[in-house]
Amino acid sequence: MTKPVTWSPSAQAALDRLQGKLFCTTTEAGAVLRYDHRTIRKGIEDGTIPFVRVGATFRIPTAWLRAQAGIGADA
């Protein structure tokens, strides 16, 4: 499981952290896409961003995130 993010990562730091991970947090997704994590949450709530719920948190598939950012799976 991914540890909670308690800092504002840069896009590259978030991508480095996601190597080999299937899911990411809203904060990590926001860093990669350069959106505020609240915008990511809104996208989850209105159904435009795929997610899985883990307890009280939302996790976004990294494959979807990489596709949205235009980054290949092996990058």
Strands 23-24 and 52-54, bridge-based pairing: unpaired
pLDDT tens string 24-68: 999 889 988 989 888 999 999 999 999 999 999 999 999 999 899
Predicted local distance difference test score (pLDDT) of residue 23: 95
Per CATH, the number for 12-69 is 1.10.10
62 with 18: CB under 8 angstroms?
Answer: yes
Q: What is the DSSP string of 47-73?
A: TSS--EEETTEEEEEHHHHHHHHT--T
pTM: 0.77
| Per-domain residue ranges of the chain | 12-69
